[in-house]
Amino acid sequence: MGGADWGQGADEWVFSLAATPDDPATFDDEYTIGRVRAALGIDDLEVRVHQISHWRLESVLADRYRFGRVFLVGDAAHRHPPTGGLGMNSAIGDVHNLCWKLAAVLASEANDSLLISYEQERRPVALRNSKQSLANFYQHGEIDAALGLSADLSPAAGWEAVGELFAEGPVGDAKREAVGRAADDKGREFRAQNLEIGYTYTGGALVADAAFDPSGLDEVCEYVAGAWPGHRVPHAWLDRRGEQVSTVDLAARGSFVLFVGTEGDPWVAAAEAIDHPGLAVIAVGRGCAYEAPGDRWAALRGVGPAGAVLVRPDQHVAWRSEGRVDDPTGTLSAAIALRTRTTRCRLLSEEPRD
């Protein structure tokens, strides 16, 4: 935790230990200092306790995220074990989702129905993250079990069980395979790209189009980049007069961003006509302000050179158009007025509760 220095020179450290919730020893400085000394094998280590704090192993999710003028975000809305590192991620995702909506309503650019989409969009994400964090926690036990360790073994028996991992022959082979399998399963916790950046809103302040089909994908690890409405805008490098810039950064302007292609002039005119506060138009393609080396962006955006992709201030895609339309101004105006397009995909009461 730093102190005089960071890294090995730090003189303030965190020491984590597990206990049953009713164990009075966990509030006791002397007991904790004893555990620190035993763990480090330094009997006379001088330890000063700054603070003992507790967290309970649980996976809980609020039934509702909004109570009148009060919105729940972060740990107030969902708490789960830190295995997977999703707690703060989910908290920041909540606030990222809510703050632009609040700003729009407070500025009278949207009505209250935009705020309903906060729970619609974020609660399913927290439900999935909570479940996976708990599963990640229990997977620790699978490695112990594969090693042959259990709480009732004596230290000698425990070392013997671990020693088999290095044994020649079938016993060692079987143990190595079992431990390898358990460790590989456990590794999913650290490869959870889809939970971290692939979370998608299937209903809420967006206009759904051709449904993204996640069947067959590992919903924890397999992130598929694409500009489907509800998805986070996918990353592609663009080039602006020799300067490399990511589409993700271009969409982080705190306002709506409309990506158009080489035949996007009608959309540019439409954006000028509707004059939405902060709306930025980014033209990408040969001869445009931004060039897209290779064909990655064209593939990711999923629309033609006359199409458009509208990204919300929280970097999630709100709507897109495959190509030219008869009334670009009316179409864009309706798309950006998400208050009239808030779709209820699933009733929240239909979400599994546990």
Q: Which is nearer to ligand FAD, 88 or 269 (CB)?
A: 88
66: alpha, beta or left? (left if phi > 0; alpha if psi -120 to 50): beta
Give the single-character DSSP code of 96. Answer: H
Q: In whole angstroms, how close is the CB of 233 to ligand FAD at the nearest point?
A: 22
Sites of contact with ligand FAD (CB under 6 A): 55, 74-76, 82, 85-89, 91
Q: Name the minimum Å distance from CB 224 to ligand FAD.
A: 23
* Exposure on the CB side of residue 221, measured as CA atoms within 13 A: 11
- Nearest of 346, 334, 318, 349 to residue 205 by alpha carbon: 318
Decide the pairing of beta strands 60-61 and 66-67.
unpaired
Of the two residues 195 and 335, which places its CB atom closer to ligand FAD in the complex?
195
Q: Tell the smallest beta-carbon distance from residue 75 to ligand FAD (Å).
A: 4
**Shortest distance, position 77 Cβ to ligand FAD, whole Å:** 8
Q: How far is the CB of 69 from ligand FAD (least distance, A)?
A: 17
Six-digit token string for 232 = 């986070």
Q: Which residue is nearest to ligand FAD (CB)?
A: 74
CB of 81 to ligand FAD, least distance (A): 8
For ligand FAD, the closer CB: 85 or 214: 85
Residue with tokens 């990655």: 296
Between residues 120 and 133, which has the closer beta carbon with respect to ligand FAD? 133
Local structure of 311: helix, strand or coil: strand
Q: Phi, psi (5° rounding) for residue 127?
A: -60, -45
Q: Indicate the residue among 78 and 101 with the shorter CB distance to ligand FAD.
A: 78
- In this complex, which beta carbon is closest to ligand FAD, that of residue 76 or of residue 183? 76
Residue 66 host element (H or E): strand 66-67
- What's the rounded Cα separation, in Å, for the pair 241 and 235? 19
Tell me if residue 275 falls in helix, strand or coil.
coil
Q: How far apart are CA 327 and CA 287, in angstroms?
A: 25
Q: Please report how close the Cβ of residue 283 comes to ligand FAD at its closest, in angstroms.
A: 36
Helix, strand, coil shares, percent, the chain, to 5: 45, 10, 45
Q: How far is the CB of 223 from ligand FAD (least distance, A)?
A: 17
Distance CA 176, CA 148 (A): 11
Locate 279 and state its tokens: 């709306």
Nearer to ligand FAD, 39 or 157 (CB): 39
Residue 88 or 210: the one with the smaller Cβ distance to ligand FAD is 88
Residue 70's DSSP bridge partners are: 67
